Structure 1
Amino acid sequence: MPRDTPDWLKAARDTVQASTPGPRVERRGRVEEIGDGVAMISGLSDVRLDEVLRFQGGQVGFARVLDPDRIGCVMLDGATAVEAGDAVYGTGEVVNVPVGEALLGRIVDPLGRPMDGKGAIEAEDHLPIERPAPSIIERDLVTEPVQTGVVVVDTLFALGRGQRELIVGDHSTGKTTLAIDALIAQRDSDMICIYVAVGQKTSSVRRAIDALQAEGNFARCIVLVAEAASAPGLQWIAPYAGMTMAEYFRDKGQHALVVIDDLSKHAATHREIALLTRQSPGREAYPGDVFYIHARLLERAAKLSPARGGGSLTALPIAETDAGNLSAYIPTNLISITDGQIVLDAALFHQGQKPAVDVGLSVSRVGGKTQAKVLRSAAGTLRLDYAQFLELEVFTRFGGMPDGRVRQQLTRGARIREVLRQQQHAPLHLAEEVALLLAVQSGLLDALPLKAVATFRTGLATVLNAEAGEAMRALGDGAEMSEATRDALLDVMRRFADSLPEAAA
């Protein structure tokens, strides 16, 4: 080679000499038509379901429908830049998302791409969004509690690690607020929190993120966002991507809590994609597999056996109803899949009872097995007393003077209802909940005016931590309440109640 040979020519010759010539198989198809985020493709007969397809302009999508002559591809980005006749290439891979500790404290899209401007994410691994649920032999009993910090939930509808509890109600009844409060309450626990926003408005997502950053431990949270303006494909994969990110921690023996907000919009996106890909519509125009897509998603929430590390994945999916109709198609599907539901009532919400939980329709099918023993002993017959109060209150509206026993039940029930009210984004610690229930169940609040009960509840934690700190720490550790602890708490609370200005009036 001449001495004056340019460096670029030397590099080119070295590359050619190092290469091994031979045939290369390239799977290539073409776009037949595209519209509304769905491309119909021909020429890729060997593509498998959910395989990632790459377009000549760099855009990506995944195969959702496999017909004999055409492939229905759901676009994940850049649908407006794809035209009929463009080349499409099969990748042989399914949709994967990054997982690992690097995602904590970050806001990402369903493909794991950062949306918070904090730079690239160095993922520990990439896992497919579709993964099989743990088998029966790999699961363990749900016995450990998930403290949500919401009195009405922890007291009446206890949640367990590995449970799937549906939050369902009409539009703007506090569903997202209740779920965000449950995430905020994990700021002092060992649970990883993942919030998945599916088809939500940008302002709603921003409020949720602000609440987590201001009140929770955001460094142990992952926020996955597929807004209403996002491509339908991104909205469709979002819940599955969130589950995969949570399963990474579950499989390491850790504990994760996933909120999916909400599956009604996810079902609507699934219907949209199904109709655009010409699948046969069924009830309410949903395709026949709409039950299956949510069943296989929520079955991934589980408490693993000690042999599998003992980790857990708890799911709080959200569904929206119209005019309180729980018998609609999607709500009934989700109720049959999950281990219970927390029903929010619009009438209670507008009456100022927040959280607006309907205690008659709500249920946890795991129940008291997961409730902290000290909380169960403090609650006693609270649920029965409150249910009787609600019935008596309806009858007394017709007039008449109730007898002494009924008046006592009405008085106690009104205090219970006041205690169950709670400000948003202010979850209580376990010890505070126990003390509050002890006060109402012992009759300590019966003599207080209703307005004074709110004042009592607001200042209770400060007073107890100052005057009964040792007892509060013991209760916070989950220790059973001894008679001495009970008497000490009642003495402090009685003196606090007597000192309130409203009580003196």
Structure 2
Amino acid sequence: MATRRALSSLVRSASRLRGASPAPRPRAPLHRPSPAGYLFNRAAAYATSAAAKEAPAAPPPATGKITGGGKITDEFTGAGAVGQVCQVIGAVVDVRFDYGLPPILTALEVLDHNIRLVLEVAQHLGENMVRTIAMDGTEGLVRGQRVLNTGSPITVPVGRATLGRIMNVIGEPIDEKGDISTNHFLPIHREAPAFVEQATEQQILVTGIKVVDLLAPYQRGGKIGLFGGAGVGKTVLIMELINNVAKAHGGFSVFAGVGERTREGNDLYREMIESGVIKLGDKQSESKCALVYGQMNEPPGARARVGLTGLTVAEHFRDAEGQDVLLFIDNIFRFTQANSEVSALLGRIPSAVGYQPTLATDLGGLQERITTTKKGSITSVQAIYVPADDLTDPAPATTFAHLDATTVLSRQISELGIYPAVDPLDSTSRMLSPHVLGEDHYNTARGVQKVLQNYKNLQDIIAILGMDELSEDDKLTVARARKIQRFLSQPFHVAEVFTGAPGKYVELKESVNSFQGVLDGKYDDLPEQSFYMVGGIEEVIAKAEKIAKERRGIVVTRSGRTKEHLIPMDTICGSLMHELQVIWDEVGEPEAARDRMLLELEQECLEVYRRKVDQANRSRAQLRQAIAQSEAELAAICSAMGEPPVHVRQKACGLREELSAILPYLEEIKRKKVERWNQFHDVVGRIKKISSEIRPANFVPFKVPVDQSDLSLRKLEELRVELQSLEKEKGERLKQVMEYLKTLHSLCEVLGVNFKQTISEIHPSLDEAEGPMNISNTTIEMLALAIQRLRETKIQRMQKLQDLASTMLELWNLMDTPVEEQQAFQNITCNIAASEAELTEHNTLSVEFLNYVEAEVLRLEQLKASKMKELVLKKKTELEEHRRRAHLVGEEGYATQFTIEAIEAGAIDPSLLLEQIEAYISTVKEEAFSRKDILERVEKWLNACEEEAWLEDYNKDDNRYNAGRGAHIMLKRAEKARVLVNKIPGMVDVLETKTRAWEYERGKEFTYDGVRLISMLEEYMVVREEKEQERKKQRDQKKLQDQRKAEQEALYGSKPSPSKPHSTKKVPKNSTAGASRRLSLGGASVQPPKSEIHHSKTVRATKKTEDMNSISPGHKGLDTVGLPIKKLSFNSSTLHEMETPRKPFSQITWGNSIPSTPVRPISTVTPILTAKAVSVLAYDESELTLQEDTEYSYEERRLSVYLAAQVA
């Protein structure tokens, strides 16, 4: 669609606008400093002048920079920060900031540049780097050049000062008429109006154009798509809309030229000046339109933002001045195309048909700002280009979703001389509803469309049979349709300078009533010519009367001229006959001679008349024959071209005039026929060419017409549809072939196959750089088969490579291959789990590469065979380590019995043995995972038992409160230990519950180093209960001793004092009967019992003695092996502590000679509860017998005898 779109940047020079091309010069700086220039000057003054440091900084111009719904402030945007250019790639410039990183969509200005170059931040790359899009050419930019952060988006001037002016995307005037004098500036990135601010009522925007207001009305604040080719009147229609909106609604218009031709923008500007839409000089304030251009040669960033600049200017008129604004965007497709280029420059992954993935978002951000608010409205008319006439293309398809109406300009209607050439049947509008327009308007519009559609259906019958063969109703329908068709034409105000006819603005109500009258038949008697190029129905009636008067004047004038010529002719003939009679009378000519002479004269006259009449008849016949032939030829050509016959015969004119009137039509129709035939020839030739490329050589898709009898548009349209179908099929085939070739090339690269040889075997044309490419079905099938074959080969080789990689990893793990050696094959092992589509590297699956990998695996296999014994031992050690960690020592089912001699002798296959050990390792790992929670609780229980033992030692220490030994630290630990010891019963209960649940789930016993954990817990609780009973018994014994001492003191008045011992050895003091001792559960004397309760005490004691030498002193757990057996003697009751090792968790046995007094364990070693060894307690044989090595007084001996008798 060639239309008048974008104007060139006039800022270069005036001569360039007139067609000259001098060298470009730098742009003149604006009188109004930009925010960036203001901040830079302020920073320079701050750095160079001391006075500037003390002076208060002036605030920047109030621009109302709003983006994303919030204001941008210097605190967050880093306004005034200066960065440096790091990289320039066409329109993409990367800038680094040491501080003050600018947000997305912030405008940056390049300093020290020959023109004002604005960059817009598009991405944050990290490391204080931003990626920007340039709004102008980047020629001359260098790395390290300074860039200033303006702290706001691109800001443009708005207001009435922009009317009649042309500016670019950053708001600079490019019409060489000076600066735009205004104090109002707005950012181009703004949010759409909130829902509460939008008007919900649907209203139509009356344009004063009959065909638009009646059949496809525009919504106030809606979006209208304008479709039309070159030269059908789009520009005139746009200018008329601008003029009518300004006059009828007092609103303004904004024209945004997005990525269109410079010449067309210049022509539009000139035509607006000539038509009065734009006024220059002192009357510039009376202009009705503002122009914003981003021409075709501008960078994609400028073309992607110029639409937003024009929309920002329109939003100011709507919001600040409450106007109904018309926004023209030409062309909206270029907006989408520019955003697609920007997306590609930023490295985003393209979407369908190569468009940007944010296509709907970019277009929606523009379209949603075009709406009606409570203050005013913006009605947008958008010219739409459809690529390759494909309405399913993502760009026009996304645009259609936003349109409220479509106005289609038809070339066929413009050829009839009807302007505006709006197609009343193809143009649509969502407002055409009885709920919005009312019943009268809706019924009238539908009635007009029905009549026009019926007339369109009758055109084929009229072309073949003529009007005479139609019924009376059809003739009436045709007559009314032709009147409606001409009544839809209308003279425009902006076209007065071209046509001389005054423009007409028709009110909506008048249009509806006029067309309703035509449908009702009120004006059937008026001629068709009276409906052409008029406003309302009154003008039609006046024009019809004028035509009738002109026709009556012509008839009167013709009749008068004929009579004036005949009278002089009759007078001359009579005078000659009278003169001849006079001569004969004077001569005396006889009557016979007179009669003879008169007869001769009559014969001569008759011959002359007859000759003249015959000549006239021949001439008339020739004229009639020429007229008939011309009419026949005209009718034949019209019939062949499918056009209605042309009737030019007029009853009031002669044959020559009639022939002269027919010949121009005939020449014109012949010229059209030649053009039509050339179109046919061109279409058929292209069909043959495409068919030869995509079909077999002997296939003829269409037979060329030889008689040229059918050159109708319908036939041409059929051929074009056939051509479009073939072109589409060719495009699809070519796309499919290119995709196949691309896939085939990638497969050949991966497999190491010669790509050129492969495609040459399919078809030689695929490898030729020049000439057409064969895209027949055979070629496509062979390409598909080749791809399938190579893909199967790729899958087979990939599986082989992955198997080799898995084997290689296993061998590396078995033999502890160094990392340096493994890195040499990293490109193999990284693809061990890759899919078929992920293998794209060159020669990854080539035969040579696979052989190389296979050789390496073979080498590792041979190396494995030589190191098999080491591998077996290594795996055995690993198995034992896993068993030790899981406390499965002694567990059945996890041991592997073998000997090195058996492996060396060949009795055992090392490979099978490795597999068996690997299976055991997997089983042990699984078992350890299921035991993890219980083992953690066992460790906590054992740690608690350790604290219990320590607490017992602490309670038995007489010097535990000595400050020099860190008593406060020990007291804290003792308090914590008491709390932990109190939790042991609960820990045992939880542990027992979880252990029983595990055993129920697994169906076997839970063992801990070969001993069942449940038995350990039960024995521990039994021993704990026994220990508690012992403590109770000790307390009772202590009370009894205290009672005895009290009775002795009462009898003798003093305490018994022991006699000195015979030996010099020091007798140990009895520290167990002190009243201040705090007894606690736990200690070395309390050990978890073993599950072997059914064994006798004697057997267990024997086993303890036998296992003493087999247990390592350093084993962790409940192990106190290594402690010497020591006997302690005390004063009144002797206590013996004997520590003998025993089997892990075996039951503690108490001998008959063991008293109930607990034994104080050796303080230098902290007892640890393990499953390896426990302490055995030994007591004196008698509880009440005094020792022999103690001397007593006589009174004490008497008292003892007395007490013994009392007890007996």
Q: Which residue of 2 aligns with 1:51?
A: 106
Counterpart CA distance in 2 for 1:379 and 1:49 is 50
Cα deviation, residue 87, structure 1: 3.2
Match of 2:138 in 1: 79
Per the TM alignment, residue 157 of structure 1 is displaced from its structure 2 partner at its CA by: 0.4
Q: In the TM superposition, what are the counterparts of 1:155-194 in structure 2 within 5 Å?
A: 155-170=214-229, 173-189=232-248, 190-194=250-254
AA of the residue aligned to 1:52:
A
| CA distance in structure 1 between the partners assigned to 2:119 and 2:448 by the alignment | 53
- Bigger drift between 364-373 and 236-245 goes to 364-373
What is the TM-score with the length of structure 2 in the denominator?
Answer: 0.35
Indicate if the aligned counterparts of 2:163 and 2:289 stay in contact, CA closer than 8 A: yes
Q: Which of the residues 383, 386, 396 maps onto 1:321?
A: 386
Say if 2:91 is the partner of 1:37. yes
Whether 1:110 and 2:169 are equivalent positions in the alignment is yes
C-alpha contact (below 8 Å) 1:324/1:346 kept by paired residues? no
Mapping for residues 72-221 of structure 1, pairs under 5 Å: 72-170=131-229, 173-189=232-248, 190-218=250-278, 219-221=287-289
Shift of 1:201: 1.7
CA distance in 2, matches of 1:18, 1:27: 20
- Shift of residue 196 of structure 1? 1.0
Tell me, in whole angstroms, the C-alpha distance in 2 between the residues paired with 1:257 and 1:64.
30
* 2:370 counterpart letter in structure 1: A
Question: Corresponding residue for 1:474?
Answer: none
Match of 2:346 among 277, 282, 285: 277
Aligned residues of 1:63 and 1:74 also touching (Cα < 8 A)? yes
Q: Residues 247 and 313 of structure 1 are in contact (CA less than 8 Å); yes or no, is this contact kept in structure 2?
A: yes
Partner of 2:532: 457
Q: Which structure shows the higher helix fraction? A: 2
Q: Could you say which residue in structure 2 is the equivalent of 1:343?
A: 408
Structure 2 counterpart of 1:249: 317
Cα distance in 1 for residues equivalent to 2:125 and 2:52? 42
Distance 1:502 1:355, change over 3 A: farther
Instruction: Give the letter for the 1:391 counterpart.
Output: N
> For the residues of structure 1 that align with 2:121 and 2:230, how far apart are their CA atoms?
33
Of the three residues 383, 388, 408, the one matched with 2:454 is: 388
- The alignment partner of 2:150 has SS state of strand
Is the 8 Å Cα contact of residues 491 and 504 (structure 2) preserved in structure 1?
no
Q: Against the structure 1 CA distance between its residues 247 and 18, is the aligned structure 2 distance closer, same or farther, given a 3 Å change threshold?
A: closer
The answer to which of 352-361 and 71-80 deviates more is: 352-361
1:292/1:180 CA distance change after superposition, 3 Å: farther
Letter in 1 for 2:111: Q
Aligned residue type for 1:279: R
Aligned in 2, Cα 1:18/1:301: closer, same or farther, shift over 3 Å? closer
Q: Check 1:114–1:416 CA distance in 2 against 1; reply closer, same or farther (3 A cut).
A: same
The CA distance in 2 between the partners of 1:144 and 1:90, in whole Å, is: 44
Cα shift readout 1:250-285 (whole Å, capped 9, x = no counterpart): 113221111011111111211222222222111221
- Worse overlay, 128-137 or 373-382: 373-382
Q: Return the alpha-carbon distance in structure 2 between the equivalents of residues 250 and 290 of structure 1.
A: 27
Deviation at 1:129, TM superposition (A): 0.8
Equivalent position to 2:480, from 412, 424, 427: 412
Instruction: Tell me which residue corresponds to 1:429.
Output: 505
Q: In 1, distance between residues paired with 2:79 and 2:425?
A: 63
CA distance in 1, matches of 2:550, 2:122: 64
Give the counterpart of 2:122 among 48, 57, 64.
Answer: 64
SS where residue 116 of structure 1 aligns? Answer: coil
Structure 2 CA distance for aligned equivalents of residues 280 and 145 of structure 1: 42
TM-score normalized with structure 1 length: 0.79
From the superposition, tell whether residues 447 and 503 of structure 1 become closer, same or farther in structure 2 (CA, over 3 Å): farther
Q: What are the residue-to-residue correspondences of 1:291-302 with 2, within 5 Å?
A: 291-302=360-371
Give the distance between the partners of 2:270 and 2:457, measured in 1 at CA: 40
Residue matched to 1:222: 290
State how far apart, in whole Å, the 2-side matches of 1:348 and 1:422 are.
13
Work out the percentage of aligned pairs sharing the same amino acid. Answer: 23
> Which AA in structure 2 matches 1:331?
P
Distance 1:93 1:102 in 2: 23
Distance in 2 separating the partners of 1:212 and 1:145: 26
1:31 touches 1:39 (CA, 8 Å); kept in 2? yes
- The aligned residue for residue 334 of structure 1 is 399
Contact 1:193–1:220 (Cα < 8 Å) also in 2: yes
Equivalents in 1 of 2:355, 2:172: separation in Å? Answer: 30
The amino acid across from 2:483 in the alignment is R
5 Å-filtered alignment, 1:438-449, equals 440-441=518-519, 443=521, 446=524
Give me the whole-angstrom Cα distance separating, in 2, the residues matched to 1:109 and 1:364.
33
Question: 1:155: Cα distance to partner?
Answer: 1.7
Match of 2:328 in 1: 259
User: Secondary structure of the equivalent of 1:154?
Assistant: helix
1:50 is displaced (CA, Å) by: 0.9
- Quote the Cα distance in structure 1 between the aligned partners of 2:108 and 2:120: 6
The CA deviation at 1:101 is 1.9
Would the aligned equivalents of 2:155 and 2:185 in 1 still touch at CA under 8 Å? yes
How far apart in 2 are the matches of 1:60 and 1:498?
A: 67
Q: Secondary structure at the match of 1:250?
A: helix
The residue that corresponds to 2:563 in the other structure is none
156-165 or 336-345, which moves further after superposition? 336-345
Tell me, in whole angstroms, the C-alpha distance in 2 between the residues paired with 1:417 and 1:208. Answer: 29
In structure 2, what is the Cα distance between the partners aligned to 1:502 and 1:221?
48
* CA distance, structure 2, for counterparts of residue 329 and residue 503 of structure 1: 62
Distance 1:312 1:387 in 2: 35
Change (3 A) 1:15 1:110: closer
Measure, in 1, the Cα distance between the counterparts of 2:79 and 2:366: 35
2:548 partner SS: helix
Q: Secondary structure at the match of 2:139?
A: helix
Q: Is this contact kept in 2: 1:168–1:331, CA < 8 A?
A: no
Q: 1:200 to 1:377 in 2, by over 3 A?
A: same
Name which of structure 1's ranges 218-227 and 363-372 shifts more when overlaid on structure 2: 363-372
- Give the 3 Å change call, closer, same or farther, for CA 274–196 of structure 1 in structure 2: same
Q: Find the aligned partners of 2:347 and 2:417 in 1 and give their Cα distance.
A: 46
Please, which runs of 5 or more residues in structure 1 have no aligned partner?
Answer: 1-10, 465-485
CA contact (8 A) 1:107 1:116 kept: yes
For the residues of structure 1 that align with 2:53 and 2:289, how far apart are their CA atoms?
49
**Aligned positions, number:** 460
What secondary structure sits across from 1:367 in the alignment?
coil
Tell me the secondary structure at the aligned position of residue 361 of structure 1.
Answer: coil
- What amino acid is aligned across from residue 104 of structure 1 in structure 2? L
Bigger share in strand? 1
Supply the distance in 2 between the matched residues of 1:405 and 1:51 (Cα, whole angstroms). Answer: 68
Q: SS of the residue aligned with 2:211?
A: helix
8 Å CA contact 2:80–2:151 kept in 1: the answer is no
Higher relative contact order (CA 8 A, sep 6+): 1
Q: Secondary structure at the match of 1:430?
A: coil
Q: 1:174 to 1:501 in 2, by over 3 A?
A: same
The secondary structure found in structure 1 opposite 2:252 is strand
Residue 99 of structure 1 and its aligned partner are, at CA, apart by 1.3
* Structure-2 change in CA distance of 1:172 and 1:48 (3 Å): farther
Cα separation, 2, equivalents of 1:97 and 1:359: 40
Question: Over aligned residue pairs, what C-alpha RMSD do you find?
Answer: 3.5
1:357 aligns with 2:415: no
Aligned twin of 2:357: 288
* Shift of residue 51, structure 1, vs aligned partner: 0.7
